[in-house]
Structure 1
């Protein structure tokens, strides 16, 4: 008896539990049955008729080409299918995924509207979640549990997965991911999901790939949580900012996220020219003018291993996270880099910049160029694409050529005057002749480079070494002149007779040995390290892309320019300044000593000697200012490159060095009388004091020969035939 009573109590309790559980069970009212999609059919005749119908997904794909995923509902939710009944007219409302909760009411259902058909014609194919109701104004409070519809984006269309090698979606050879999406949704925290394909990143955003090996990926509602396995990064990506998929050929999961800052995920980001799944095909052979076409085989896929492998060997974990941005906007047109030309050799840097011998930029893209229809190539290559600089930012090399040519003519006239006048060929005059001749060599080579692009690689290299040797030798001879004037004053403790010519010849030989040795040693060392490179830091690359140092300003590759030019010339400039200061002190001492001398032959001769040497000292100071200003501009130009107008003024000053030298050394009354006497036009006796003019010390300013000045000596005319695209208002050659 007691046993039957207890059994009855247990049965009643279980029945009550089942009743309560069924009442609290989550309910979702879906408009269409499983594997069917909702469409809106509109007939516009004399009257407007709007119907909502459910159709099988296979039929929709065959008739309208619509591929869409229905709403996914987890098995823990009770689904009740069917459109609201007993309605004269259904009202449709678009559901906001982030805000709206579903209502388990009999007169409301939810589903994905995949298309609208008007008079038998497909009007649009924009899947969106909608709610259909009999009376939209019915606001009856429902106490039953409510559900939210969340969003999940699959990176690739149905039947495809994401290939991390080529950074694109590819068809699956096997049906190994047929149930991947439902399985992945089951792992998420939401109950109902609308699914879509692709990642709609904005034009200035990178699609960064988060691999399961580097991140712990989880989805809660419409939010993706990406936790770095190293514990350094913890990111939350909201709806529309991410997608997930299966990695091609594996069972691993990969996520893509949109970001403007790749450092947020410690990603290495590059830019691709064509959309994913497309590549460049040449419009005509012999040119890089191309158009984007779909990939048809693996050879044309986006394979940039030639850029990444060298970095992978040097930085082991650099590609743990990759990002790709599509497109390159160039207002003035763009051109492809022809890797067969020395000036177009390029590579990617540690910070994902593209570096050429003359450029370091983030404004580039990489792409595959299909040349298989060209008999001379018949291959597919990957290369970089850069933007043409707007005309307003391009220096007019014709103006520079004219100015430097004028400077070269002035230097040549100065050299002729000092060579033909015997009165000027003393020790100081001979050092001055050497200095001016080297400045003439540098300016003449620079004028040729400024005239037009030097196509011949050997000639370009020869001109580059001519510029370098000329400036280095000019600095060396200025150092000789500074030392000589310091020695002249520093060695005077008592008034001594004038030095003999034999002594001056010996000193000139020693000076020549020093100056020419410095110039030859530096040039030969740089040439050997350039010809037989042992390190990128010491590889000057003279003539490689520019008839000067083949390095990019303000980069790590600019070390050869510093080592072989900026630092040595800076040391010489500083030594010259120290010698000039010491000479100033000695000059004051000698001046007081000379003034104490009585009038007489010795006193007059000492005073005359002092006046001549003081004139040398003053001119040496002027020369140091000119040379020092040139070197300072050289140093500053390697640090900053803005504002451009200021450097244009500095360039103009440097380009006029030959004119300044001519004005200082030649345009003087004493030299005017000596020249007239030499050519026989002087009919009146000339003051004998004019026959021994004060020796003039001079230094042609070095010129800012850094990559800011000399690297601009190459025009870009040769790139005309390598254009890829130009604005419509720019005439193509």
Structure 2
């Protein structure tokens, strides 16, 4: 306890004596390393029991926010191994005596970090951080997370140094006014300040960073999230994948991968692919109702409708500018949901054909009722599973404080209208997709094994004219149809996953990208350009299209199915009183 004596004189006549007291409180110093450790010259924590810790530089630079509360400077409380909420690449280092910052002591005894930041306005300003910072006694440094409050940009070198691309390192300019790089921001951005993290190279996942030189045709502008937009390129580069210096940017390979026309071409091709798949869906519903309402045709239509929507959304995402807004978020979730739903419906086809040969009981009721019940179950599975994955993704993306700084954070809109990090892409997209491809392969192998086991009985049933044997034959033909679709979807997507995992220059994968976009053309040709399907469509449209009536005139006796026709594969499965497994 300390006391003070105040003598108050009023108009030279009256006076009074007031005794006051205040407690000297201890304040807390968050330490970067655990107790008993300090930073070495490489800023790594090492055991330092033999080296005393001198915190005078912190104590002498600490100012109480409330001047009426005093603190004991001799024995501060040291909190070892302080937690920082940002990953290492996002942390900034402040050097005592060089960088401008102050320490403020709150009434609770906790320190606040008051840091000078730059602004696009005329005057720079101080910003206070109340958490996510720590100190080291030996190196007299403070480490904090500046990007939690402000946009961050990286300078490749410290002030007074510039990056030399020919030697690949920072060189001393010898002049204080040279190498003092500050970026150009987009209009209205960083008016409340921004922070420059010095001497920090981009954290590239593979390869060496590329130097982009500023010129009359190449301009750089930083956005509100710290990403940089380079003129002539459609996608902004995330702030942690570039650094800037005088007249140049150092950018990770692949970030500025191509010019706008490539994305425009890809977008147009994807939109055409989506239109073709929509044509496939419409063709299926224009077939006679008894054909269109078959379970496998409904499943096929659901698969193609999801794939068509995915292509259209991806095409739009390729064409529109990259912005972190509601439209970009909507496109990202649509692409994820529809592609996963398309693969789940492909998985439904595999489950359905395996069910036909498994011996498991079908739902009760007539053939139409059984198909209806199955389709409801399949819909709940396919669309429900895709919805669950999308909800998980949205939760991680939008819930405050969840997965902050984690590679599993989707961060839609930072890299493009898609996942920012490979780990997130794997967890929420390619991982489930690869699992479904493997599951489909296992189901096909199981079904093929069942067919081999019942082949002898099937031959006997067919020779006797048994309708169940005929049903098995039709199911085998349906299996061939599904195998074609699986190969078309599976093989092309395997190359897509490989190209994503391996990486490299974009032109390595131009051929596989084009083949993937042409899969819709293959599906359209296989399932719509068959003579049998065209004849059915002409017959269907003959009642209200005179030209179609003339085309079908005199051909009513034409056979609409053959040994290898698509119509036979998709519509000739007859109702059977016995399930295929009962003939085994």
Q: Mark yes or no: TM-score above 0.5.
A: yes
Aligned mate of 2:455, from 591, 610, 615: 591
**Aligned: 1:473 with 2:341:** yes
Cα contact 1:442–1:466 (8 A) shared by 2: yes
Match of 2:244? 365
Distance 1:283 1:358 in 2: 15
Distance 1:165 1:521 in 2: 52
Aligned mate of 1:457, from 325, 336, 340: 325
| Aligned residue runs from structure 1 range 472-551, under 5 A | 472-491=340-359, 500-532=367-399, 534-535=402-403, 536-549=406-419, 551=420
Match of 1:93? none
CA-to-aligned-CA distance 1:340-388 (integer Å, 9 cap, x gap): 157549xxxxxxxxx97668757x4246x9xxxxxxxxxxxxx977599
Q: CA deviation at 1:560?
A: 0.8
Match of 2:475? 613
Structure 1 alignment gaps of length 5 or more:
1-161, 167-212, 215-257, 263-268, 289-299, 312-326, 346-354, 370-382, 552-556, 698-733
Q: CA deviation at 1:417?
A: 0.8
Distance 1:475 1:342 in 2: 36
Are the structure 2 counterparts of residues 635 and 329 from structure 1 closer, same or farther at C-alpha, using a change threshold of 3 Å?
A: same
Cα contact 1:274–1:280 (8 A) shared by 2: no
Distance 2:541 2:315 in 1: 31
Q: What secondary structure sits across from 1:365 in the alignment?
A: strand
Match of 1:582? 446
Match of 2:567? 693
Q: CA deviation at 1:428?
A: 0.4
Are the structure 2 counterparts of residues 576 and 270 from structure 1 closer, same or farther at C-alpha, using a change threshold of 3 Å?
A: farther
Q: CA deviation at 1:452?
A: 3.4
CA-to-aligned-CA distance 1:405-456 (integer Å, 9 cap, x gap): 2211111110101122211321101111110110111011112122332557
Distance 1:271 1:694 in 2: 74
Q: CA deviation at 1:654?
A: 1.1
Aligned mate of 1:569, from 413, 433, 443: 433
Q: CA deviation at 1:539?
A: 1.2
Distance 1:273 1:511 in 2: 68
CA-to-aligned-CA distance 1:435-486 (integer Å, 9 cap, x gap): 0110111011112122332557111111111111110100110111001111
Q: CA deviation at 1:335?
A: 3.8
Cα contact 1:343–1:546 (8 A) shared by 2: no
CA-to-aligned-CA distance 1:620-639 (integer Å, 9 cap, x gap): 22222222223322332233
Are the structure 2 counterparts of residues 358 and 442 from structure 1 closer, same or farther at C-alpha, using a change threshold of 3 Å?
A: farther
Q: What secondary structure sits across from 1:621 in the alignment?
A: helix
Q: What secondary structure sits across from 2:223 in the alignment?
A: coil
Match of 2:269? 403
Aligned mate of 1:420, from 286, 289, 294: 286
Distance 2:531 2:173 in 1: 66
| Aligned residue runs from structure 1 range 663-682, under 5 A | 663-680=525-542, 681=549, 682=552
CA-to-aligned-CA distance 1:148-198 (integer Å, 9 cap, x gap): xxxxxxxxxxxxxx99957xxxxxxxxxxxxxxxxxxxxxxxxxxxxxxxx
Q: CA deviation at 1:596?
A: 1.2
Distance 1:451 1:435 in 2: 25
Runs of 4+ in 1 over 6 A off after TM superposition: 258-262, 269-275, 281-285, 330-333, 387-392
Distance 1:687 1:427 in 2: 26
Distance 1:516 1:459 in 2: 22
Cα contact 2:462–2:470 (8 A) shared by 1: no
Q: CA deviation at 1:693?
A: 2.5
Cα contact 2:306–2:338 (8 A) shared by 1: yes
Match of 2:31? none
Match of 1:108? none
Q: CA deviation at 1:499?
A: 7.1
Distance 2:315 2:184 in 1: 38
**Aligned: 1:277 with 2:148:** no
Q: CA deviation at 1:543?
A: 2.7
Are the structure 2 counterparts of residues 502 and 307 from structure 1 closer, same or farther at C-alpha, using a change threshold of 3 Å?
A: farther
Aligned residues: 381
**Aligned: 1:444 with 2:312:** yes
CA-to-aligned-CA distance 1:186-241 (integer Å, 9 cap, x gap): xxxxxxxxxxxxxxxxxxxxxxxxxxx99xxxxxxxxxxxxxxxxxxxxxxxxxxx
| Aligned residue runs from structure 1 range 281-292, under 5 A | 286=187
- TM-score, scaled relative to structure 1: 0.45
Distance 2:384 2:186 in 1: 51
Q: CA deviation at 1:670?
A: 1.8
| Aligned residue runs from structure 1 range 221-300, under 5 A | 277-278=177-178, 279-280=180-181, 286=187
Q: C-alpha root-mean-square deviation of aligned residues, in Å? A: 4.7
Aligned mate of 1:659, from 510, 521, 525: 521
Cα contact 1:410–1:662 (8 A) shared by 2: yes
- TM-score, scaled relative to structure 2: 0.56
**Which deviates more from structure 2 when the two are superposed, residues 581-590 or residues 686-695?**
686-695
**Aligned: 1:632 with 2:494:** yes
Cα contact 1:273–1:365 (8 A) shared by 2: no
Q: CA deviation at 1:690?
A: 4.0
Match of 1:110? none
Cα contact 1:485–1:617 (8 A) shared by 2: yes
Q: CA deviation at 1:591?
A: 3.0
Q: CA deviation at 1:531?
A: 0.6
Are the structure 2 counterparts of residues 586 and 520 from structure 1 closer, same or farther at C-alpha, using a change threshold of 3 Å?
A: same
Q: CA deviation at 1:398?
A: 2.5
